[in-house]
Amino acid sequence: MKLEISSESLAQIQTPVLMAYSFEDAPASSGTVERLPAEVRSTIEELQASREITGKSYECTLLHRPAGLAARKLLVVGAGKRQKFNDAQLRRVAGAAVRHLRGRGIHELAWLLDNEGTRRESVEAVVEAALLADYDADRYRTEREVERRIDLLALATGGHAPSEAVRAGLERGRIIAEAQNFSRDLVNEPSNRMTPTMLAERAQTMAELYGLECQVLGPEQIRELKMGAFWAVAQGSDEPPRLIVVHYEPAEAPAELVVGLVGKGITFDTGGISIKPSENMHEMKTDMAGAATMLGVMQAIAQLKPRVRVIAVVPATENMPSGKAYKPGDVITSMSGKTIEILNTDAEGRLVLADALTYAKQLGCTALIDAATLTGAVTIALGNITTGVFGSSQEWVNRVLNAAADAGEKMWQLPVDDDYREQYKSLIADLANTGGRYGGAITGAMFVGEFAGDTPWVHLDIAGTRWSNEEKPFLAKGPTGAPLRTLVHMLLKLAG
């Protein structure tokens, strides 16, 4: 999708469709509809009187040959209640408008910006919305709906010279949404087309393209580093594991802070010997969504260039049952030296994360954030709507929660509390890899946190939010790319 700024006067904008929004609890001439010429506004007011336009969220009404405009059509999109309107809602409203127009033979659009004092954040939200809305998960359909793609989005200032805020919003929005779609593409790939080796290749290609340093370690090095927990999971698969490390360390950034981004990279989770039921097992191709998030974040910051050092560490492997697979009751020694009794081979994510966190600390990371499709339990607690947030440092948890609010991603903190440690004690070893049914998201998170030690650490359980089970007006069914925007926003803010 090409993005441009159009500073032509409103009446003169030549576009197949101009998009504007209005509110539900206000006259139809509200929102950006208020900026339109009186001729077309009176039509809109008539439609409102007959209840054809209500302003309810995502309602789309297409007017042909709108009076007083050079645009061939005008799409009026409902923005919901004025009180509830913010950048997150704007992102959804703009996404809904774009998704409504795709597939109607329309390939070029113009979005009417709010006014002369347009904020960078709102432009960013619109650009992100359009790029994220113009995505479908139909990659391997031989007759893909590519003819639906939008080729051009113009941001219409309505006659003002484009401000620095508009330019910056366009650029940031593009970079972040492209990274999010890159992450969605990785999650969408089935496991036969996204083995640990292929994931590492994608990471390397991305790193080369954006000028980042990338190292990929294979089985011998993983064993040499004594990553016994990562290795235990990997040993059952014929696909060799990969440890992917991507560096973004600008010389001008302060040396004291190195943020480690650790992403769970299970390219397929069968459960191993504690095998999963076959129903819905195909969804476990998405068990590398944490990895995809972190690689996407690296792609975004390589372009946005915040003054902060960041290292991404991705342990990538399959979790398979086989004659070589690890088994319940096995005791393994993690890279940290802590011993772990395996009670369930399906609790593999925390094992690969344990060694990846230890390695990130060894590389010099002074703060750790992991993203992982860690537990089914988090989806029982928070559904598919909200990412579970856990952490040892409230300061860092707050950074993430604040960034999530800015980025329009829903997150909720769940507790980390020593009283839960009883649940994952082992009779034979330092730790057991499961903590029972109750509070499963918490004990899973806390097990991971044991390996962060004293280093400030935040854990994002994205088992529920990695994938949308239904088509939304503003987003296709399939991979969501969560929680990439939150992490990018947090890193940008950290850098000041």
Task: Supply the residues annotated as catalytic.
Answer: 276, 350
**Residue 70: count of CB within 10 angstroms of its CB:** 14
One-letter amino acid for residue 431 of the chain: L
Closest C-alpha among 197, 336, 350, 370 to residue 269: 350
| Token pair 């509110």: residue | 23
The SS3 of residue 403 is helix
Pick the stretch among 109-117, 119-127, 185-193, 344-352 that binds ligand BES (CB under 6 A).
344-352
Compute the least distance from the CB of residue 373 to ligand BES, in Å. 4
Compute the least distance from the CB of residue 266 to Zn ion, in Å. 5
Q: Which two tokens stand for residue 220?
A: 């011998």
**Rounded CA separation 151/486 (Å):** 27
Q: Which lies closer to Zn ion via its Cβ, residue 125 or residue 356? A: 356
| Token pair 């960078």: residue | 120
Does position 318 interact with Mn ion (CB under 5 A)? The reply is: no
Residues 232-271 that bind ligand BES (CB under 6 A): 269
**Rounded CA separation 285/266 (Å):** 8
What stretch of H or E contains 248? strand 242-248
What does the buried/exposed string (b/e) look like for 168-198 if buried means 16 or more CB atoms within 10 Å of the residue's CB?
ebbbbbbbbbbbbbbbbbbbbbebeebbbbb
Asked if residues 156 and 111 have their Cβ atoms less than 8 Å apart, the reply is yes
| Partner interacting with residue 375 (select from Zn ion, ligand BES, Mn ion, none; CB below 5-8 Å by kind) | ligand BES
Does position 479 interact with ligand BES (CB under 6 A)? The reply is: no
Out of 269, 318, 450, 461, the residue judged to bind Zn ion by CB under 5 A:
269
Residues 270-299 that bind ligand BES (CB under 6 A): 287
Out of 237, 375, 387, 480, the residue judged to bind ligand BES by CB under 6 A:
375
β pairing state of 367-372 and 339-341: unpaired
Pick the stretch among 120-128, 167-175, 334-342, 372-380 that binds ligand BES (CB under 6 A).
372-380
Compute the least distance from the CB of residue 279 to ligand BES, in Å. 12
Q: Would you give the DSSP letter of residue 364?
A: T
Compute the least distance from the CB of residue 230 to ligand BES, in Å. 14
Query: How many chain residues touch Zn ion (CB under 5 A)?
Result: 4
Out of 349, 439, 456, 479, the residue judged to bind ligand BES by CB under 6 A:
349
Out of 186, 200, 463, 492, the residue judged to bind ligand BES by CB under 6 A:
463
Does position 346 interact with Mn ion (CB under 5 A)? The reply is: yes
Which residue in the shown chain puts its C-beta closest to ligand BES?
A: 376
* Binding pattern for the stretch 396-435 against ligand BES, x by CB under 6 A and - elsewhere: --------------------------------------x-
Compute the least distance from the CB of residue 276 to Mn ion, in Å. 7
Strand order from edge to edge, sheet including 152-156: 2-6, 152-156, 108-112, 17-22, 73-78, 60-64
**Rounded CA separation 433/446 (Å):** 11
Q: Which lies closer to ligand BES via its Cβ, residue 263 or residue 349? A: 349
**Rounded CA separation 241/266 (Å):** 10
Name the site residues for ligand BES (rule: CB under 6 A).
269, 287, 344, 346-349, 373, 375-377, 434, 440, 463
Name the site residues for Mn ion (rule: CB under 5 A).
269, 346, 348
